Amino acid sequence: MTPSVIKIQSITVADVDLLANMSSETFYAAFGHLNNADDMDAYAAQSFTIQQLTNELKTPGSNFYFALVSNEVTGFLKLNTGTAQNEFKDQNSLEVERLYVLAAYQGKQIGKQLLDIAFTQALKNNNDFIWLGVWEHNYNAIHLYERMGFSHCGSHDFMLGNDKQTDLLMKKELK
């Protein structure tokens, strides 16, 4: 069942507490059962603090969005352009750095609607392509991205605490 109305809202520094809670909750739900607890905790302690997320919210070229259903936050998206990107910094591209949806709302088109924000923003920016990194074992996300037109274009290392993992790089050409 698809929620009847999914609202997309820009995230500001005023929303950082909610963003920190959503970041931690969705990250642990998605990957906690697949990884060592110490590595998960180390990553969360580095990446999901109020200070770290405030810095990210203030970074030029980074934009965050909440997805809401009946005024409840159900997911979020982080986009990067220019030097805010983790790869392809010198190219005319847009990075989808984070896209998470609460487990209870997965399969209800929320992830797709958040990705549609990325496509809209990339077309508005006249970007050549959209790209992202996805954990090689996150099969559901990989299949979503493939259905949305992304294809594999490389890989990079991702450090989850002390565990070196592989993220697949995927991109979708826009021109």
Q: What does the alpha-carbon distance between residue 12 and residue 157 come to, in Å, rounded to a whole number?
A: 30
Q: Catalytic residue at 145?
A: yes
Domain boundaries, the chain: 6-130
The pLDDT, as a whole number, for residue 4 is: 65
| Residue-level pLDDT, tens digit, the chain, 175 residues | 455 689 999 999 999 999 999 999 999 999 999 999 999 999 999 999 999 999 999 999 999 999 999 999 999 999 999 999 998 887 899 999 999 999 999 989 999 999 999 999 999 999 999 999 999 999 989 998 999 999 999 999 999 999 999 999 999 999 8
| Cβ neighbours for 1, distance < 8 A, ≥ 6 positions apart | 108
Query: Strand pairing of 163-173 and 6-10?
Result: unpaired
pLDDT at position 175: 84
> Would you identify the CATH topology of the domain 6-130?
Aminopeptidase (3.40.630)
Q: Which residue has the tokens 């790089």?
A: 169
| Both tokens assigned to 74 | 């159900």
